[in-house]
Structure formats: C-alpha cells, structure tokens
Amino acid sequence: MGSRIIAVANQKGGVGKTTTCVNLAASLSATRRRVLLVDMDPQGNATMGCGVDKHALEHSACNVILGETGAGNAIVPVEQGGFWLLPGNDDLTAAEVQLVNEIGREMRLRKALESVRRGYDYVIIDCPPSINMLTINALTAADGVLIPMQCEYYALEGLSSLKNTVDKIRETVNPRLEIEGLLRTMYDPRNNLSNEVSAQLILHFRDKVFRTVIPRNVRLAEAPSFGVPVLLHDRNSRGALAYLALAGEMIRRDEVVDAFVNDSGNGATDAEAVSTGQEHALES
C-alpha cells in the first residue's frame, strides 16, 4: 500500500476532531505504520496534545504553506507517540489571509507534502472547524476525508454542507477525493437520540459509517492536558481501545481495497469478518 493522506474535517467544533487526529496517529503508529500528523488548525490543539509547545516553534505549517520552508524542515518527532508532526499555531490565520490573492492557493499543502509523503504510510491532517482556505488546502491534498461527528440533532445538517464541499473539490481540483468514513464520537448508547441519529447515518451512508464508535471517556478527555495520546495516558481505557479498533478498521479497509485492485482472491471476506467482530465488541 502506498501512502494515504486523510483529512479529518467537520465545520462544527467540539465533535472530537483533534482528539481523533492525535489518537488515531498514535494508534496507527502502534501497529507499526509510519504516520505524519499535520496540524492545519490555527488553534494548534493537535500540536499541544502531542506535547509540543505551539508558541515555541522554529518552523510551522504556516511557513510551509507560504513556501518559506520545506515540509521536511518543519516536521518534528512525537517521541512518546511514535509518530511525526508538522506543527501548527495561530500564525496559520495570517497565512490564510496572505493566500487569498495567490494563484493556485488551494494547492499549497498538496505540493508541500509531495516531497515527504512517500516516507509515511498515513498522513493525517487536522482541519480547522470551518470550511476556509486551510480546510480547502487539506481536502485538495487528501485522498480521503474522515468525518468525526456526534450523534445529535443538528449533525446531519452540517454533514450535508461538508459533503457538498467535498463534491465540489472532487469535481474541480482533486478527483481522487472520497469520504473515508463517518466516525461516531462521544457516543452514549443509553441516549435515545444518539441511537436514532446513528441509525439514520447507517441508513444514508451504509458502509461509509465506521463500525467503531468512540465512547464518552474521562481518560480520553484528560489526555490532552498531559500532552500525550490516550494510549500513553491509559492504554486500557475504553477511549484507547476504541481508537486502536479504529486504526485496525482503517487498515483492514485499505487492505480490502488493495486486494480488490490487485485482484488477489478473497482477502476482503476475512478482513471484514475480523472487523465486524472487534468493532461490535466495542459497541456493546
């Protein structure tokens, strides 16, 4: 499998987007995949959640997309997580303003990542909680979009807006862009509304909805304040186990696609069987 670039996006804030980026990166790394996390959110929460001081960066994602330095110069190791980080901070807000009048502005991140992506199995991009030029750059660079969402009343409305944006980018600048999957976050199976919205998602998006669900979990909420992924904060917590299951489900999906492309028998059946068993165990 070649490297895959996954943008994690939702224009609604507070849905577990950054939590997903940091913990998915750590979980994929735990499966011995080479992972790069790119922080394109001016809030810099993914950077801080990896234990990197966003106020003391020598180079950042801002410098990279403005062409002031190469991506390789700005990437730093996240030793406690076993992956790599292209850090971001509020300089990205200024970068977005500067890009407004630039030709080919939506292609900046894609071009910047071309020189480094071959060194990684997965590149995960944390997008801002809005559809702006930074998000457009991430979607233009990506192969797939992972959409974390809470199962609540307004969730489906915001989802259709993001889907329209994805469709437009696919039609104009990035024909390979697909929805990687919808991830149900902060999930409480005792909540009737959560179950109803979850059922609606599965009805409309079918196998695009990840089987793995991310539960509400205290350890998951605590981990960013320690500057580590939940896998290092409490590897036996429900949150850590859920993100490990998500990493496994993503890898199996990719293996199924590769098997289909290479016409190599029925590997899909085995992978899906394993996936179903593990993910339903987590949901219960």
Domains for the chain: give ranges and CATH numbers: 4-283 (3.40.50.300)
Say what the pLDDT of residue 253 is.
86
pLDDT for res 200:
87
Alpha carbon 211 to chain centroid distance? 16
Question: Which residue bears the tokens 């180079």?
Answer: 59
Write the CA distances from 270 to 174, 180, 201, 256, integer angstroms.
32, 20, 25, 9
Helix axes 238-261, 267-283, angle to 10 degrees: 160
Q: How much is the pLDDT for 152? A: 84
The parts of the chain modelled with pLDDT lower than 50 are: 265-284
- Dmax over CA atoms of the chain, in Å, equals 51
E-strand stretches of the chain: 4-8, 35-39, 76-78, 83-86, 122-126, 144-150, 178-187, 209-215
- In the sheet that holds 4-8, the strands lie side by side as 76-78, 83-86, 35-39, 122-126, 4-8, 144-150, 178-187, 209-215
**Length of the chain, in residues:** 284
